[in-house]
Amino acid sequence: GAGVSQSPSNKVTEKGKDVELRCDPISGHTALYWYRQRLGQGLEFLIYFQGNSAPDKSGLPSDRFSAERTGESVSTLTIQRTQQEDSAVYLCASSPPTLTSGRLYNEQFFGPGTRLTVL
Amino acid sequence: KNEVEQSPQNLTAQEGEFITINCSYSVGISALHWLQQHPGGGIVSLFMLSSGKKKHGRLIATINIQEKHSSLHITASHPRDSAVYICAVRVGYGDKLIFGTGTRLQVFP
């Protein structure tokens, strides 16, 4: 079946512009995560959506970052007034509902990422 | 100090060698994940474990909760195993993952 997809795959923007990154999770996956990976560094958690619960935004680095998710489908990560330090690969992951697996938590399935370059 | 430390950072091996990558963490966890990131960035989940040992093909993952340590082993390594291997821990019973910085493995024929 189809995996997690992200668009665009690459985005080059100028400092100060706003960007929107899109994530399409695997159908039926209730949990959706956004991560950031700066060059040469590990992944950093940004935000987590689980069903209709309030999202966990504790990883967002500043108020220039926001994310939305429509129900249990598409999510968009928006970065306003981009800065050069925002340059990174932004990864999305989704995981199935724990009720169907009987587990407390599930493995995450990652998308290919969006490489953002802020000039 | 990072909450999740991996060693070594870089590893080269000849095809057929037995590989071990280590992960130590300093927080209480409910699960530990091993991920594989290929050149080009795609990430694949290899294992999720909370105790003991899991095996999948040539890959073996072990975890010692008391010692806060996990190892990923690759038997009979192959050039296609060349990738970055990432350890990530689920803190408590939350849903966030904290990631190590990865181990870059290169296997030469």
| pLDDT tens column, B54-99 | 999 999 999 999 999 999 999 999 999 999 999 999 886 666 789 9
Closest chain A C-alpha to B15 CA, distance in angstroms: 26
User: pLDDT at residue A15 above 80?
Assistant: yes
Cα end-to-end distance, chain B, whole Å: 36
User: pLDDT at residue A24 above 70?
Assistant: yes
Choose among B107, B45, B47, B41: nearest CA to B80: B107
| pLDDT score, position A41 | 84
| pLDDT score, position B58 | 95
How many cross-chain Cβ pairs, A to B, lie less than 8 Å apart? 58
B39 touches chain A (CB under 8 A): no
Q: Give CA–CA dist A76/A64, Å, rounded.
A: 14
Token pair, residue A118, equals: 């802020």
User: pLDDT at residue A9 above 60?
Assistant: yes
Choose among A114, A97, A119, A107: nearest CA to A36: A114
User: pLDDT at residue B1 above 80?
Assistant: no
Q: Are A119 and B108 in contact (CB under 8 A)?
A: no
| pLDDT score, position B35 | 94
pLDDT classification of B4: cutoffs 50, 70, 90: very high
Interface test mutation site (partner A, options B44, B49, B50, B96, max chain A beta carbons within 10 A) = B96
Token pair, residue B83, equals: 């990738």
Q: Are B94 and B85 in contact (CB under 8 A)?
A: no
The verdict on a CB contact (< 8 Å) between A58 and B96 is yes
Q: How many Cβ atoms from other residues are within 10 Å of residue A29's Cβ? A: 18
SS3 category, A99: helix
| pLDDT score, position B94 | 61
User: pLDDT at residue A64 above 70?
Assistant: yes
| pLDDT score, position B2 | 79
| pLDDT score, position A93 | 93
| pLDDT score, position A20 | 98
